[in-house]
Structure 1
Amino acid sequence: MKRSFSASVTKEDGIYVAQCLEVDIASQGSSPEESLANLQEALALYFEDPRPTITPDIKKIEVEIGAA
């Protein structure tokens, strides 16, 4: 699924910064095109479905609670 976003590109100290206007995501590059390409990648990663990097070993335990 594709979705459109608006972005602004500014030059700061010789580096181009691309900022998404709808989502608080930014990226940078040595040219306006590179900063926008990096922003596209950052947005794709931001909206990617989460995946566990380590599958937890879940166990059930019983604990007696209350006065004996």
Structure 2
Amino acid sequence: MNRQLTAIIEREGDGYVALCPEVDVASQGDTVDEARNNLKEALELFFETASTTEIQQRLHSEVYVTNIEVAVG
């Protein structure tokens, strides 16, 4: 079974951090592609080893990624 999940990737220092907010799993890499691939591997390992109860507790069924405008300064 395949599942569509969200990957948020941002630069941090000399590399990139990738986060899946649906289950709060993160990984990193030297490039965007490496961070994404490492996150995919971490997610597959999580779903392979976590109990059904843990998955249900951590899985957020709705995640929204959007932009907001805020006043600064």
Q: TM-score, normalised by structure 2?
A: 0.64
1:2 is paired with a residue whose SS is coil
Identity of aligned residues (%): 48
Offset, 1:15: 1.0
Aligned-partner residue type, residue 28 of structure 2: Q
User: Across the two proteins, how many residue pairs are aligned to each other?
Assistant: 50
1:26 is paired with a residue whose SS is strand
List gaps (5 residues or longer) in structure 1. 51-68
Aligned-partner residue type, residue 29 of structure 2: G
Kindly report which structure 2 residues correspond to 1:1-68, keeping only aligned pairs within 5 A, or say none: 1-49=1-49
Aligned-partner residue type, residue 32 of structure 1: V
Moved over 4 A (4+): none
2:8 is paired with a residue whose SS is strand
1:56 is aligned to none
State the distance in 2 between where 1:6 and 1:27 align: 13
From the CA coordinates, give the structure whose radius of gyration is larger: 1
Offset, 1:28: 0.3
2:55 is aligned to none
